[in-house]
A and B are shown apart, each in its own frame.
Chain A
Amino acid sequence: MSIDLETKKTVKSITEKYKYGFTTKISSDKAPKGLNEDIVKLISGKKKEPKWLLDWRLKAFRTWLKMKEPNWSMVKFPKINYQDSYYYSAPKPKKKLKSLNEVDPAILSTYEKLGIPLEEQKRLAGVAVDYVFDSTSVATTFKEQLSKLGIIFCSFSEAVQKNPELVKKYLGTVIPYTDNYFATLNSAVFSDGSFVYIPPGVRCPMELSTYFRINAENTGQFERTLIIADKDSYVSYLEGCTAPMRDENQLHAACVELITLDNAEIKYSTVQNWYPGDEKGKGGVYNFVTKRGACRGNNSKISWTQVETGSAITWKYPSCILQGDNSVGEFYSVAITNNFQQADTGTKMIHLGKNTKSTIISKGISAGRGQNTYRGLVRMGPKAKDGRNFTQCDSLLIGDRCGAHTVPYIEVKNQSAKVEHEATTSKISDDQMFYCRQRGLDQENAVSLIVNGFCKEVLKELPMEFAVEAQKLLGISLEGSVG
């Protein structure tokens, strides 16, 4: 072991409690607990959805009933009682909102506590924010500016009302409702989420951003996001989340679908900081997410960057289907597990088109009793002539009670394709620690510094303002882990 017991104790004593653990008191419009066809109909009805969407939800629900919870990942958790959850809750608007000033002050103060700069600050930073509070969007900014360019950036429900043809054309085409247990559940009961459409030739001038937040007690979160980048367009999308402290586990099963047409690019960045549970492993969010992008067009590109520091259990594999010739898929990931957290995350790069390229950089950090698994698939189809993949997975272990695992699948059916995979496992060396301390850093700062260095290749992929936040998070997430 690299760090002596005494320092461990010292550090433990100053461990900061989960910083973002509080609940906002506002009244929720809740559907009864439990899940059945009536609930699905209720959700759809509340949102005044067209029949085709209700039918789609019902098909998904009926499929879900026949499916079994997957058990192939390295994560362990008690059986989830899906009937003991609320599937719909919306904050009650006092009246129709005209501006952010009319938003429930309790909500605004929540964001303040989270340190999310609002309005003017964001405008200066060039960020349009579509706040998702619990399940329904309550405020959207920058709409006007974006709409001038023909960009659609709104809540999913709004898109269903205003742009049904786009939603119908693309929904479920990347993640079909039959895809997997959690995606199918999401398809049946998804509450709301974001919708983005970038018209041909448009480069979105600002980072689009949504902050998610679980709030009402026992509310399963089923976000659904759909982003379409039409020909020759570009968009960078940020997703960040924190959740308040809870004793009972909360299920979060989101779906994100990305589509790029010819020469288009989507950059999707996530900082995930749901409540991870306490030091004893009690509570915390179950984050079972399906994220997938399809590079439909030639020369298109999808880039996933994620910093996963929260949740009791993370189970997600942001993937790319590289259909178009010369299309590019990227996956940059930092996953931290501390205390009793478990993460099983990675990506799938499915190369179908000619000359497609993918890069995977994964950095896993395990501390405490955390278990961190990289699970990835690189598949070169028979037509993926000259396909290229480079994968690098590095694991860092802090302490001797945690685990770091690497499970890559490499399937090559094309002679000219080239796949390279590398993985290493290491710890923070005594020499590094000593060097930092000799230069005056305390243990905690030294660890934070070294970990940030370890993750540099991924962090540099994040948009500037996000990167700063992420760096801080790495430090906070590892508090009390030293040794």
Chain B
Amino acid sequence: MEKLIEDFQIPDKKIETWKFTDLKKVQEKNNFRPSVKSDSTPTNPYKINLDISNNIFFDPKNNFIIFENGYLKKINTKSDDLEIKSLDSNLENKIFNKKNFTRKDSLLDINSAFLNENLIIKVKKNAKLKNPISIFYYNCEEEKYLINNRINIILEENSEAEINEIFFSNNKSIYWNNVHNYVCLKKNSKLQHYKIQLESKNAIHSSSTNIDCENSSIYNNFIFSIGGNMSRIEVISSINSADINFNIKGLYLAKTNQHHDITTLMQHKHPESKSNQHIKGILQKDSSGVFQGKVIVAQDAQKTDAFQFNQNLLLSETAEVNAKPELEIYADDVKCSHGATTGELDEGMLFYLRSRGLNKEEARKLLIEGFINELFDDIENKELKKKLLLTSKKTIY
């Protein structure tokens, strides 16, 4: 029998990992319905929507995938080393073993039950992709749709790629975007993964990226979350062998009544790997921010080096922040640490700048910029870095 959205328990604060984000309440208020493919979908060659081609993150040189209102519109590959196609759900289970990612909530089940598109992106062995792969999730409908898509990514041995996911809309639309990514990094591969969340101000965003890492692979994730009314971005890793380098950098910028949640789970299962997380938040107006990060180091994961740091800047009296940086360590010969700070701009720094002639506003601006810059320092794609900086400045001032 067809499933209904009512058949699922939408996560709320009763679930420990949703302690600070109540998705159920939002769903009750908006009553999002799973989207249906309309018959009017044009079959003739798709012309790229102007909103997309005008978006600063759009670059026609890149490989790209375009979703419009939840459905796949275009795939454009520029390299023979890259394969992008739809994936049959039955086949998915044969190719992938997703045992490392069990969930305590219903989001994956919802995604499976109402899945719009299921894609696989494959980068061939030894291939180093020259151009990034950009995935646009664009919405311009005002129906309250729940949109479910899934992207599976495989980087074969010794391959390298950059993937940018851009979530945006014409800013009028209301929807709930529920996306799942599964990433499999084979031996010696390297992935730069940018998640750029610019959803419409009324939208809900929930996404989960689950990464299986094999020998000597490198995964660099950058989360940039500024859109939506509520967002929840998860990154879940499974470190399955030695010598893996796993990095997450994240920035959430919230204003008005936005709520941003970044939740990470780092599962160190094998020895001698490194993970590094640095998440920053800037909260303005009545917004709220959440960082939950858990690092598990299993008994066998000796010589693990895991670091986690969360910094929050509260810029208004009514903003709020909740942080839960967790360590769960079962191995003794490890280096693990975490830190979290929350506060206003540092008074000592403000005074120093003012004693050099900057007025309060200028000094604040410079310090906020500095706060963000630190995170952007080692973004490898310089072009993208510029665009992200520009976008964040626009959001703050």
Contact = CB atoms under 8 A, between A and B. Distances in A.
B121 interface: no
A419 interface: yes
A403 B331 CA distance: 7
Contacts of A422: 337-339
Contacts of A421: 323, 325, 338-341
A425 B340 contact: no
Contacts of A410: 321-325, 340, 342
Given A2-B332, A403-B330, A419 B341 contact: yes
Nearest to A427: B332
B343 A417 contact: yes
Contact of A425 (B315, B321, B327): B327
B73 to A, nearest CB: 43
B325 A415 contact: no
Given A419-B341, A421-B341, A422-B337, A408 B317 contact: no
Interface string A396-435: 0111111111111111111111111111111100000000
Interface string B328-350: 11111111111111111000000
A425 B339 contact: no
Nearest to B321: A412
A412 B335 contact: no
B166 interface: no
B319 interface: yes
B231 interface: no
Given A400-B333, A413-B320, A406 B343 contact: no
Contacts of A418: 341-344
Categorize the interface residue count of chain B.
Answer: 35 or more
A337 interface: no
Contacts of A401: 299
A427 B320 contact: no
A405 B337 contact: no
Query: Main secondary structure on chain B at its contact with chain A?
Result: strand
A28 B170 CA distance: 79
B314 interface: yes
Nearest to A367: B332
A407 B17 CA distance: 12
Query: Main secondary structure on chain A at its contact with chain B?
Result: strand
Nearest to A393: B327
B312 interface: yes
B316 interface: yes
A411 B322 CA distance: 4
Contacts of B325: 406, 408, 410, 421, 423
B320 A412 contact: yes
Contact of A423 (B320, B323, B338, B343): B338
B240 interface: no
B39 interface: no
Contacts, number: 114
A406 B332 contact: no
Contacts of B312: 412
Contacts of A406: 325-327, 338
B383 interface: no
Given A72-B16, A421-B339, A1 B329 contact: no
Nearest to B328: A405
A7 to B, nearest CB: 15
B159 interface: no
Contacts of A412: 312, 314, 320-322, 342
Contacts of A397: 329, 331-332, 334
B197 interface: no
B327 A405 contact: yes
Contacts of B321: 410-412
Interface string B298-319: 0100100000000010111101
A1 B340 contact: no
Interface string B12-23: 000010010000
Nearest to A392: B339
Contacts of B330: 400, 402-403
A416 B344 contact: yes
Contacts of A273: none
A143 B241 CA distance: 66
Contacts of B334: 397, 425, 427
A415 B316 contact: yes
A420 B342 CA distance: 7
Contacts of A2: 332-333
Nearest to B341: A420
A1 B332 CA distance: 7
Interface in A285-327: none
A121 B325 CA distance: 48
Interface in B201-252: none
A249 B316 CA distance: 52
Contacts of B337: 422-425
Contacts of A423: 325, 327, 337-339
10 pairs of A and B residues whose beta carbons are closest in the complex = A397-B332, A418-B343, A410-B323, A425-B336, A406-B327, A421-B340, A424-B337, A427-B332, A415-B314, A419-B342
Given A412-B312, A427-B332, 19 more contacts: A2-B333, A72-B16, A395-B329, A397-B331, A397-B332, A398-B332, A403-B328, A403-B329, A406-B325, A406-B326, A408-B324, A410-B322, A410-B324, A411-B321, A415-B315, A417-B343, A421-B323, A423-B325, A425-B337
10 contacts: A72-B16, A397-B332, A404-B327, A407-B326, A410-B323, A411-B320, A412-B322, A415-B319, A419-B342, A425-B327
Interface of A: 1-2, 72, 395, 397-427
